[in-house]
């Protein structure tokens, strides 16, 4: 009986070694590139935005590559074309995907991310309001490009919202929701 179990175990190990993870899944690389023009994007914010991309392009079908190489390639290609980041087209994103050797490019260009407190002038002001108001600026250019389908989605986000300070949505969260929405649209997933 022990010999039979040992023989079965050897067969399972031999067959298990013949099947690799690469054969089971064709994992496609995804480049998540953030170009920060504000100087306010820190590592926690980057991870939060990256998580939105990871939810759309998840393991075992996709994996996110190191962003620094792809970021430098994207900067070089965009600067060589001399275009505004709000006017990129498929050919530029295709070049980024081919040079970075990825199947999907998610490009996020943060132009302005700011929350400004608005103060009233006091009782003498005819427009006096007792509420504390905050104005939120969220300006970003968001692109998602799939190389295999040659499909590109683009969102030029220019959001200016003035609301009660207790009720505002931070600019980073507005950008995060728009990024998630664009990724879900690209993958034909329901909007959350």
> Model confidence at 151, in pLDDT bands (50, 70, 90)?
very high
- pLDDT level of residue 191 (50, 70, 90 thresholds): confident
Task: Retrieve residue 185's tokens.
Answer: 């649209």
- With beta carbons less than 8 A apart as the criterion, state whether 112 and 154 touch: no
User: Of 73-77, 79-83, 120-124, 168-172, which gets the smallest average pLDDT?
Assistant: 120-124
DSSP 8-state code for residue 191: P
Per-residue pLDDT at 133 exceeds 90: no
How far is the C-alpha of 62 from the C-alpha of 102, rounded, in Å? Answer: 10
Q: What is the CATH number of domain 24-119+132-186?
A: 3.40.50
Q: Say whether pTM exceeds 0.75.
A: yes
Closest CA to 26 of 148, 145, 143, 144: 148
Q: How many CB atoms lie within 10 A of CB 155?
A: 16
d(CA 28, CA 35) in angstroms, rounded, equals 23
Q: Which of 57, 72, 58 is nearest to 147 (CA)?
A: 57
pLDDT value at residue 22: 47
| Residues 31-41 pLDDT 10s | 999 999 999 99
> E strands of 49-170, at which residues?
62-64, 104-118, 133-146, 151-164
């Amino acid at each position: 009986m022990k010999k039979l179990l040992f023989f079965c175990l050897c067969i399972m190990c031999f067959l298990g070694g013949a099947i690799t993870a690469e054969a089971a899944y064709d994992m496609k690389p995804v480049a998540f590139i953030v170009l920060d023009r504000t100087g306010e994007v820190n590592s926690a914010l980057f991870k939060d935005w990256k998580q939105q991309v990871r939810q759309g392009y998840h393991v075992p079908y996709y994996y996110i590559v190191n962003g620094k190489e792809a970021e430098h390639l994207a900067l070089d290609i965009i600067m060589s074309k001399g275009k505004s980041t709000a006017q990129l087209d498929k050919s530029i994103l295709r070049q980024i995907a081919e040079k970075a050797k990825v199947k999907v490019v998610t490009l996020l260009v943060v132009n302005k991310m700011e929350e400004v407190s608005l103060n009233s002038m006091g009782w003498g002001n005819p427009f006096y309001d007792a509420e504390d108001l905050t104005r939120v600026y969220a300006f970003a250019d968001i692109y998602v490009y799939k190389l295999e389908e040659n499909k590109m989605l683009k969102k030029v986000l220019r959001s200016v919202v003035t609301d009660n300070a207790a009720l505002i949505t931070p600019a980073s969260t507005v950008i995060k929701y728009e990024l998630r929405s664009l990724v879900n649209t690209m993958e034909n997933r329901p909007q959350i």
